[in-house]
Every structure is written in C-alpha cells, then in structure tokens.
Structure 1
Amino acid sequence: MTSWKTAYRSLYYEGAPEPPDPILVKGKTALLVIDVQNTYFERPDRASLSGAERARYDAWTPFHERMAGTVMPTIQRLLQRFRDGGLEVIYARIACQTGDGRDRSLSQKKPGWNDLLLPKDEHASQIPASIAPKPDEIVVIKTTDSALTGTNLRLTLTNIGISHVICCGVFTDQCVASTVRSLADESFDVIVVEDACAAGDHALHLKELEIMNMIYCHVMSADELIGYLP
C-alpha cells in the first residue's frame, strides 16, 4: 500500500522530500465535517424521470454509492474515534437565514447545480441523523463555500486552541477544497481524510486531492490518520 507521504503528488512535488509525521495533540486537534447534509442524499424515483433526467440521475449514482459504501461509514468511524479520545468534533453546514435565500453568497445564487436554497430550519439543510452532532459539539452555518470565510470558525478554532484540523465531507473539489485553502492561509495545519470525502465525479475527487496535497494539506486515509491520533 502506498504511504500518504508519497501518494497524491502533483508535478510540483515529484521528488520532494517526504513530510514528517504529524504531531496530533489532544486539545489542539479537531475533526471538521463539511456539508454532509440531507439534501445530498435525497433522490427522486428513477422510473418517474425523463430520458435526460435519467441520464443525470445515472451520472450521480457513483457518488451516491461512494457516500453510502465508503464516506459515511468512514465519517462514523472518525466521529467515534474522536469522541472516544476526547477530541473536538466540529460541523459546517450550508444554510441560509432567510426563506428566499437573499443572504446567500453569489456563488450559491448562480444558475445551475450550485444554486443552493437551503433555509436553516428545513429538513434538506440538516445533518443526517447517522452522523448528527452530539450535545456541546460546535456547528457553524455558512452561505459560502469556505467554512472559514463565511463563519466565525477561525475565531472559534483559535479560542479553543486548535492548531490541526482534520477535514472530511463534500464536495472534495468545492467546499472541502475551499475550506482547506482558507485554513492553510490562516496557518492551520490541515489533513484531508481521502476516504471520508467525495466529489460529484471521482476523477475530480482524485485530481483535487493531488492539487491540494503537500501545499494546503496532507492527504491520508482514515487508517493512516487514526494511527497518529492521541
């Protein structure tokens, strides 16, 4: 099995020295679950769809299979390990404060797939029960791609003494990537858990990991990460 120290390398980092082992300390390490919400699990009955709609439905099937078979079980495993170890668990979710979404950022108002109208109290914007926050776990609400830019998350992380942020969720090439870059720019040490993330297309998932790795974060599997947790 290829080690995280040599995997997901872009042209920029071919031949670069292997990174050192991370030092993850209780009280300074947090898990951040990004945008895993009911809206991304709800699908219409395929039989009710037209030809073009069925083609789009089928194009998204691999994403849903990865979420059900890999990502959600991995997130559940990470949550259990962090909670058992007394480590911080934080969630970010997309949700607007208004019913018509007028408070959303421009990227969430543009026509097309990213036109997200998720009022904060509606079912679609909620975190699924299978990974729901426990009492006293922090949840930030955002109308931006980056969980840092659109919330008080940076201040919160600083207030509770976090230096290492472990990121997972959806979508690898959008809100996960945007959050990772923001965290890196604020000098947080970031790890992305590969098998706890997904993009709409798996090729985009893999390419985004390669783009982010070694500069904005380090990319690991859940097994590799857990080996470093206190």
Structure 2
Amino acid sequence: MAEVKKHGETALLVIDMQNDFIKAGGPMHVGGGQAIVPSVIKAVQVARQRGIFVIWVVREHDPLGRDVELFRRHLYGDGKEGPTTKGTKGAELIDGLVIEEGDYKLVKTRFSAFFATHLHSFLQNNGIKSLVVVGVQTPNCIRQTVFDAVALDYQPVTVIVDATAAATPDVHMANIFDMKNVGVATPTLEEWCRSSA
C-alpha cells in the first residue's frame, strides 16, 4: 500500500493548463496562456519544495458534449472532436507540467473547480485551509473558483498574478482588481517565492 504524503494546510490549484487552452491554434486558446507556462512550472516546483499539496484542476468532457455548458454544446458531436474531450491530446497538460505521485487530479465540467465536484470536501478531509491559484483563464475558471473559495471561507486565498492569464492583459488585470477587492492576495511569482506562504 502506497504511503500517503503529508501536506501542510495550503494547496496549490493549477487550473486548466491543458493543450486546448494553452497551445496556439487550440480551440479554446487563451491569448496570455503560453507566456505563463514557465511561471506555473516554477510555482509547482516551489509548492512541492514547501510541502504544499498540488492539485491539478482540468476540464475533461464527454465526446458528445453531454456534460458541457449549453452554450458550448455545438462544438461537440457529429464527428467533431470538441475541446478538452476526455482522452484526447487537447485535454492533456501542456508540455513541462507533470502530475507526480502524491499530487491530485480533479476533473471539472464548469468554470468553478468547486461547482458539482467534490473539491471542498476533499480539501476539508486533507486539512487544507488556504489556497494558491495559478492557470487560466482569469475571468472564467480562475475568478469563479476564487470567488467560491472566498465564499467557503478559505483563508488566505492567493492568486499569483503572473502565473495566471486571460485573453488580454487588460481583461486579466481587471479581474485581478476585482479579486483583490474581496480580500484575495495577488502577489507576483517572485513575491510569493520570497514569502513564507
């Protein structure tokens, strides 16, 4: 039986760092996604060094799109390979990011990692009280996950500002501003690495 790795009270959520979101030409391409890959890799490395629990939050959909939002259903079925379809190259993590033993993978089918998933009970069962968030994209999956985390009283909630991205820098910074206004910490990667969090 494998030994369960002990973690502190903080988890790093790595959100949607998948080929279909990050690679140029991907069906759900996020303009700023490729630029943050090195920062996300570094955040994961630092988290592991600090004993922070690394949780990979990914979208994976049914090939027929039966579990996708209504506004995206037209992208699936009729012989079309929809975005982040389970088992496809597009659903895989971007090169350079690897799920290691002791990490955890959580599949979601909506923007928030908390919506219709077991994330909250999983975090509680593992003694997690604070969250650090990286990935894409800021106005959708990052923002909704963060606002749910705030509503569920995780404290602190941290979004690493240069390890998250949106379609444009303006959209990204507007959403960072909104999250900051509800008490979310928004350090740069360098600031976070220097901190004890």
Determine the C-alpha separation between the residues in 2 that align with 1:181 and 1:107.
Answer: 22
* Residues 68 and 144 (structure 1), Cα distance of their counterparts in 2 relative to 1, 3 Å cut: closer
Gaps of 5+ in 1: 1-25, 45-59
Cα separation, 1, equivalents of 2:13 and 2:161: 13
Change (3 A) 1:149 1:216: farther
Match of 2:18 in 1: 37
Q: Give the deviation of 1:176 after TM superposition.
A: 0.3
CA distance in 1 between partners of 2:34 and 2:143 (Å): 21
2:150 to 181, 184, 188: 184
* TM-score, reference length from structure 2: 0.84
CA contact under 8 A between 1:108 and 1:144: conserved in structure 2? no
Q: Pick one of 138, 141, 160 that aligns with 1:193.
A: 160
1:212 matches 2:179: yes
Between the aligned partners of 2:111 and 2:67, the Cα distance in structure 1 is 14
Query: Partner of 2:78 in structure 1?
Result: none
| Offset from partner CA, 1:191-224 (integer Å, 9 cap, x none) | 0000001100110001001111131512111122
Contact 1:101 1:117 in 2 (8 A): no
Aligned residue runs from structure 1 range 138-217, under 5 A: 138-189=104-155, 190-215=157-182, 217=184
* Distance in 1 separating the partners of 2:139 and 2:68: 20
Cα distance in 1 between the residues matched to 2:166 and 2:20? 15
Aligned 1:53-68 pairs, distance under 5 A: 63=31, 66-68=32-34
In the alignment, which of 87, 99, 111 is matched to residue 52 of structure 2? Answer: 87
Letter in 2 for 1:37: Q
Q: What displacement does 1:101 show? A: 1.2
Q: Which residue of 2 aligns with 1:76?
A: 41
2:188 partner letter: S
Aligned-pair CA distance for 1:152: 0.8
State the TM-score, normalized to the length of structure 1. 0.72
Match of 1:4 in 2: none
Q: Contact conserved, 2:114 with 2:145, CA < 8 A, in 1?
A: yes
| Unmatched segments (≥5 aa) in structure 2 | 1-6, 76-81
User: % of aligned pairs identical?
Assistant: 25
Partners of 1:191 and 1:155 in 2: how far apart? 20
Report the number of matched residues. Answer: 181
Q: 1:180 to 1:199 in 2, by over 3 A?
A: same
What's the C-alpha RMSD, in Å, of the aligned pairs? 2.0
Matches of 1:137 and 1:227 in 2, distance apart?
23
**Matched residue, 1:19:** none
1:226 paired to 2:193: yes
List per-residue Cα deviations over 1:2-57 (Å, max 9, x = no partner): xxxxxxxxxxxxxxxxxxxxxxxx6101111111101123335xxxxxxxxxxxxx
Letter in 2 for 1:199: A
Question: Residue 108 of structure 1: CA displacement?
Answer: 4.0
